[in-house]
Amino acid sequence: MTYNEIFKTGSLKDLIYFPLLFNVIGFLSIGFLYAVSSGLAVDFNTLQYLVFIIEWVVAFIVIGRLRRQGLPLKGFIMPRKEFKWIPAFLVFVSLNMLLIVYLLYPLIPIPSMGHLSLLQLLFFLALLPVTAGFVEELIWRGYFIEKLLAKGYSEWKTILFSSISFAFIHGLLVDKLIVTFLFGLIAGIYYLRERNLVVLMGTHTVVDIVGFALKIFA
């Protein structure tokens, strides 16, 4: 069976449901922490632990669907076109520059991450970036783009819809929505042209490592 035949079944509601899951759980958790604490118990670090858990929950949902459709995870991730250095280099540089510019010149001040223990440093500079790189590219580039294409959407609509959904898993701040939407556009264009999730996963991981390093050490 072709990818189109495999992905034709099922609805596209997850484009909305997955971002809702991220935000609803986040808001409920914030409300709970405020309710049970005597002071300000919610910070950026706490929210990232929640994001880590939610991302793996969503990842297991998608991986399970791929298996039921006869697509082993390894086969889905592996590049389906010959690797090209120039497009890979361009997407790597453009996505990293996009994040660096955003962190240096944010519209809304980005909170400091404060002093971190060794275990926290390992979480923010290794575990969380690898998780985001793997999970978000698997779902918002690989899974959603293939499903949208199989449903008959044009390439530009496919990139647009997957990028909007991707942006809304990162919260509701306007400047962050814009940056992550642009991130989704660039990554989506690369995926459609090169069909290489490995490059996007690696690039996304590095982007997050750079981003957290700037927040921690800058």
The tens digit of pLDDT for each residue in 5-30 reads 778 777 789 999 999 999 888 788 77
Task: Give residue 50's pLDDT.
Answer: 86
Burial code of 104-114, b = ≥16 C-beta within 10 A, e = fewer? eeeeeebeebe
pLDDT tens-digit series, residues 159-188: 999 999 999 999 888 889 999 999 999 999
Radius of gyration of the chain (CA): 18
DSSP three-state, residue 108:
coil
Contact 151/168 with Cβ under 8 angstroms?
Answer: no
So what's the pLDDT on residue 188?
Answer: 97
CA–CA separation, 136 and 141 (whole Å): 7
pLDDT at position 41 is 52
Return the pLDDT at 44: 67
pLDDT in the model for residue 43: 66
38 pLDDT tier (thresholds 50, 70, 90) = low
Does residue 93 contact residue 209 with C-beta atoms inside 8 Å? no
Token digits of residue 90 = 């361009």
- Please give the Cα distance from 213 to 217 (Å, whole number): 6
pLDDT surpasses 70 at 209: yes
- Over the stretch 72-121, which tens digit does the pLDDT of each residue have? 899 899 998 999 999 999 999 999 999 999 988 877 777 667 678 889 99
Q: Give ∠ CA 81-86-88 in degrees, rounded to 5.
A: 60
Percentage of the chain exceeding pLDDT 90: 61
CA–CA separation, 72 vs 214, rounded Å? 36
